[in-house]
Structure 1
Amino acid sequence: MTILVTGATGNIGRQVVQQLVNRGADVRALVRDPAKANFPAGVNVVQGDLLDVDALRRAFTGVSTLFLLNAVVPDEFTQALVSLNLAREAGIDRIVYLSVIHSDRYLNVPHFAGKFGVERMLEQMGFGATILRPAYFMDNDLTIKDVVLGHGVYPMPIGSIGSKGLAMIDARDIGEIAALELLRRERASGPLPLERINLVGPDTLTGDAVAAIWSDVLKRPITYGGDDTAAFEKNLRNFMPAWMAYDMRLMSERFLTEGMVPEAGDVERLTKLLGRPLHSYRDFAAAISASA
């Protein structure tokens, strides 16, 4: 049978597609623009988006398992609800959904609250689903590497010494775990119970700790830019819509008060699932340094 991957041209979606192909799965990818697909041979590309009901019906035909990933957009929640209703209509009840860690606690943050609503729908509709709850993507820091390298400052307001910190995870680990869960559900003799998995990295880091890693890797001082979330929002408005910049500010404020902290056993569970250690932030920083 066929596994459908939504969000397939994004950072996580591409990883999921590649990992599934590596394991011999029959993969279909839903994309807005087929010209940007560039997938491995054998991947079936379907054009459409998560608000295009007719395209989704075509994409879902013959699909047994769905990877649902929604971008952070104003209608993210609607996209997910439409997709899941159409999946149910098509007889798909094996789902892997990419949510976010602490979606039930960051409830004032729009895209967290939306993802928590989707989680509740998966429960209430009785889907056999794995809900993946990743912490902060360390790959997000690719967007600020020039600030680190050029100005000696780590600018993301993720908390000073004494904060709870973020258990940052590498996109490669997210993609591989998602693929493993999709295949586990795909190959099961029947639907499996709903399950939640926190996706975390091996280390829980504050901004000062991240700056210290950069300092060590680059062999020169890198400082943490501090916890000014208002300045963070103002800067983000230079290259994203105001609503999204505000959403990101609200998220960063919860970083400072709540952190993104693993539960007992999370790291060990993921390490066992992957059969290898999780990628660390130090590995991520060292790779950027080596390519700079």
Structure 2
Amino acid sequence: MTILVTGATGTVGTQVVAQLARRGADIRALVRDPAKAKLPAGVAVAQGEMLDVDSMRAALAGVDTLFLLNAVVPDEFTQALVTLNLAREAGIGRIVYLSVIHSDVYADVPHFAGKHAVERMIEQTGLHATVLRPAYFMNNDVGVKDAVFGHGVYPMPVGDRGLAMVDVRDIGEIAALALLKRARAPAPLPFERFNLVGPDLLTGGAIAGIWSDVLGRPVVHAGNDTAAFEQTLRRFAPAWMAYDMRKMADRFQSDGMVPEAGDVERLTGMLGRPLRSYRDLAREVVAGG
């Protein structure tokens, strides 16, 4: 029983590998540069990239279960289809795919629309898979702590409809549990899909309020100007990515990221504990400076 983890050294992949290793799984991690990969002891390394067909065939050889995670890149959709087709050719019938919540709703957001197309491919080709649909990663907000700490401003245009932000550590643990459930089943399990969310529906004002409470001083929300958000991102990211993120923020305003009935209860039951909250994360960030 070997599980191949793509994106193994990224934000979510690192958590998935750690959770699988903690449970004694036989793990193979797909990495571009093995010399730079920091992985738990005992994790096998497969060097390759998802658009390199030969390296992917080698990485998938002898694998029973696949965790497919794609970074937000221009060719994300092609990467996913190539990998899934190669997995099918290799006879791999146990797959967990990391999509995104409301991939079918945010139809004008490039990386959401791409993930929804991958979901359709999985269903239409009859692959036995669990599709995980996480909401916005609350851990992304660690990157704006300088604005919060130094200027008393929460800058993200998350809107007023509410986002059920989820902690990446919960995503990693749930993904590991889903992988092991499929890997250990006597036969491939049916297709399933469910959301990964946090315990609270958060607006920009609510998040600013949490930071105010945790820091003991006022923090205000900067507002929901998505055009300004795009221009800020262009200082650090390619123009196409900044625009993609701006379109996502536009949908935050119009639709939010609202869980379905029973989402929180299902995830709590899987984990056997409460989901991590944004307040928990804020306290950790403050404690760590």
Amino acid at match of 2:273: R
After superposition, give the CA deviation of every residue in 1:176-211 in whole Å (9 maximum; x if it has no partner): 000000000000111111111100000010000000
1:198-213 aligned at under 5 Å gives the runs 198-213=195-210
Aligned equivalent of 2:56: 56
Aligned equivalent of 2:284: 287
SS in 2 for 1:28: strand
1:144-223 aligned at under 5 Å gives the runs 144-159=144-159, 163-223=160-220
After superposition, give the CA deviation of every residue in 1:225-283 in whole Å (9 maximum; x if it has no partner): 10100000000000000000000000000001100000000000000000000000000
Distance 1:35 1:287 in 2: 31
1:10-89 aligned at under 5 Å gives the runs 10-89=10-89
Distance 1:40 1:106 in 2: 36
Gaps of 5+ in 1: none
SS in 1 for 2:29: strand
Distance 1:197 1:36 in 2: 33
After superposition, give the CA deviation of every residue in 1:7-41 in whole Å (9 maximum; x if it has no partner): 00001001000100100100000001112211111
Gaps of 5+ in 2: none
Aligned equivalent of 1:7: 7
Aligned equivalent of 1:109: 109
Q: Give the % identical residues.
A: 73
Kindly indicate whether the alpha-carbon contact (under 8 Å) linking 1:9 and 1:36 is maintained by their aligned counterparts in 2: no
SS in 1 for 2:66: strand
Amino acid at match of 2:54: D
Amino acid at match of 2:162: G
The more displaced of 139-148 and 199-208 is 139-148
Kindly indicate whether the alpha-carbon contact (under 8 Å) linking 1:127 and 1:194 is maintained by their aligned counterparts in 2: yes
Kindly indicate whether the alpha-carbon contact (under 8 Å) linking 1:100 and 1:133 is maintained by their aligned counterparts in 2: yes
Aligned equivalent of 1:127: 127
Give the CA deviation at 1:66: 0.2
After superposition, give the CA deviation of every residue in 1:107-156 in whole Å (9 maximum; x if it has no partner): 10000000000000000110110000000000111111111111110000
Amino acid at match of 1:81: L
SS in 2 for 1:63: coil
Distance 2:33 2:74 in 1: 20
SS in 1 for 2:129: strand
Give the CA deviation at 1:62: 0.4
Amino acid at match of 1:56: M
RMSD: 0.5
Amino acid at match of 2:158: I
TM-score by length of 2: 0.99
Aligned residues: 289
Amino acid at match of 2:229: F
Aligned equivalent of 1:256: 253
Give the CA deviation at 1:291: 1.1
Distance 1:265 1:22 in 2: 28
SS in 2 for 1:111: helix
Aligned equivalent of 1:139: 139
Aligned equivalent of 1:241: 238
